[in-house]
């Protein structure tokens, strides 16, 4: 059975690696210039050429039974057209909302979900007005093409704002208050084409310079009523939008409430621990979901963690231990680039925490 994935990075790789034992075969639709080493040998890699007929593309992808994505920055118009030949999951209209921070914020607010206080801005004047209304410190985020802390600026005070408006004259920005969060967690939900919904246990995440460094699951000591309410909202979101696949939601944790930072309509870095730490990985469950198969259990097998390998030369054998599993993406090294990750699993949480610390030290700052 053929599955097509838009994108050829590590998430596409891990989807394919999870799908091969299930008898699935893959094709990857990539853009000119994309680094596709991560998916080499895992299926046909097709470059998207402008003006290509959707029917020709569908044939070239090997007549897939379903098309999915590994990223949100995709041509949703093209996906709408391909939807005439086979299902596209998640739906292109939801991808379109999620790929733009402004549209995403409006969507979340329309669903009654708490997000950081924010304003939309497009030039120096509207940025100054936003700053006047929100106060400092602020975070300015480009509406599009922003991930892993890219296209994101922290403005501590009015002089930082002066410097910022001195550079680009116009843009499409979401300006947010800096949320004084205690911790960060993510929720990973999955809804199948048959409407079955499951949640993985919440994951605690630590970011460095806006990039995920470490995850630990299950997250503990969370404000339980707020967590239950958040899960209920997510369930409504999934049902109302007829969402199919894994959906990742990143939250700031405050004393007794959660504030949703952002939503990713795909498998997510903070769910990599599920490869060793759950009965069914997020990758397998995403595939099961989009194929309309029964979902697998989303339990946590004891405690599990993950550390990203960010542009480092650490030799693999220095990272391994009895509780550790290594995942490398075969990508070319660049400073700070996500080259792989290490998963840790143990019944004893303290042991997982100690291993995560050891790994972070070994891996350095990237």
Does 185 bind ligand AMP (CB under 6 A)? Our answer is no
Report d(CA 273, CA 144) in Å as an integer: 28
3-state secondary structure of 248: strand
Per CB under 6 A, the list member of 62, 210, 302, 311 interacting with ligand AMP is 210
CB contact set of 288 (below 8 Å; sequence gap of 6+): 192, 280, 294, 295, 296
Report the alpha-carbon distance of residue 357 to residue 13 in Å, rounded.
27
Give the shortest CB-116-to-ligand AMP separation in angstroms. 4
- Residue 80 or 148 with smaller CB distance to ligand AMP: 148
207 touches ligand AMP (CB under 6 A): yes
Regarding 149 and contact with ligand AMP (CB under 6 A), the answer is yes
| From candidates 139, 190, 237, 287, binder to ligand AMP by CB under 6 A | 139
224 C-beta neighbours (distance < 10 Å), count? 9
Question: Can residue 179 be called a binding residue for ligand AMP (CB under 6 A)?
Answer: yes
Terminal Cα distance for the chain, rounded: 39
Task: For residue 184, state whether it binds ligand AMP (rule: CB under 6 A).
Answer: yes
Residues paired with residue 69 on neighbouring β-strands, in sequence order: 6
Residue 141: partners with Cβ closer than 8 Å, 6 or more residues away: 101, 151, 152, 153, 173, 174, 175, 176
User: CA 239 to CA 244: how far, in whole Å?
Assistant: 9
Q: Compare residues 3 and 249 and give the one whose CB is closer to ligand AMP.
A: 249
Q: Of the two residues 262 and 284, which places its CB atom closer to ligand AMP in the complex?
A: 262
Residue 307 CB, shortest distance to ligand AMP, in Å, is: 16
Q: How many residues bind ligand AMP (CB under 6 A)?
A: 14
Q: Smallest distance, Å, CB 209 to ligand AMP?
A: 8
CB neighbours of residue 335 within 10 Å: 9
Q: How far is the CB of 207 from ligand AMP (least distance, A)?
A: 4
Residues 103-132 that bind ligand AMP (CB under 6 A): 116
Closest CA to 295 of 307, 306, 305, 286: 286
Residues 241-260 that bind ligand AMP (CB under 6 A): 250
Report angle CA 279, 280, 283 to the nearest 5 degrees: 155
Q: Does 178 bind ligand AMP (CB under 6 A)?
A: yes
* For ligand AMP, the closer CB: 116 or 253: 116
Residues lying near ligand AMP in the complex (CB under 6 A) are found at 116, 139, 146, 149, 152, 176, 178-179, 184, 207, 210, 250, 261-262
């Amino acid at each position: 059975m053929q599955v097509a994935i838009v994108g050829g990075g590590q998430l596409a790789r891990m989807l394919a690696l999870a799908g091969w034992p299930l008898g699935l075969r893959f094709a990857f639709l990539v853009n000119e210039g994309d680094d596709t080493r991560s998916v080499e040998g895992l299926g046909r890699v097709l470059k998207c050429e402008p003006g290509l007929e959707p029917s020709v593309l569908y044939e070239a992808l090997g007549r897939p039974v379903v098309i999915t994505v590994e990223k949100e920055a995709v041509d949703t118009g093209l996906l709408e057209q391909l939807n005439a030949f086979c299902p596209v999951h998640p739906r292109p209209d939801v991808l379109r909302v999620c790929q733009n921070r402004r549209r995403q914020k409006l969507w979340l607010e329309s669903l009654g979900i708490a997000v950081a206080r924010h304003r939309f801005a497009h030039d120096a004047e509207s940025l100054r007005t936003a700053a006047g209304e929100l106060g400092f410190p602020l975070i300015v985020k480009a509406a599009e093409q922003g991930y892993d802390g890219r296209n994101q600026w922290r403005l501590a005070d009015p002089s930082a704002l002066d410097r910022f408006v001195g550079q680009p004259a116009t843009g499409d920005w979401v300006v947010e208050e800096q949320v004084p969060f205690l911790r960060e967690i993510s929720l990973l939900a999955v809804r199948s084409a048959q409407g079955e919904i499951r949640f993985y246990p919440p994951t605690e995440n630590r970011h460095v310079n806006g990039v995920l460094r470490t995850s630990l699951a299950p997250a503990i000591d969370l404000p339980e009523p707020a967590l239950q309410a958040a899960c209920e909202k997510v369930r409504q979101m999934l049902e109302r939008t007829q969402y199919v696949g894994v959906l990742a939601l990143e939250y700031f944790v405050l004393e007794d409430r959660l504030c949703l930072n952002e939503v990713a309509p795909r498998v997510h870095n903070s769910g990599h621990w599920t490869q060793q730490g759950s009965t069914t990985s997020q990758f397998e469950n995403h595939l099961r979901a989009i194929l309309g198969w029964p979902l697998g259990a989303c339990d946590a097998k004891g405690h599990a963690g993950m550390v990203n390998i960010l542009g480092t030369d650490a030799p693999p054998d220095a990272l391994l231990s009895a509780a550790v599993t290594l995942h490398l993406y075969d990508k070319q090294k660049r400073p700070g680039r996500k080259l792989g990750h290490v998963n840790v699993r143990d019944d004893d949480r303290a042991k997982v925490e100690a291993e995560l610390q050891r790994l972070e030290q070994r891996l350095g700052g990237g």
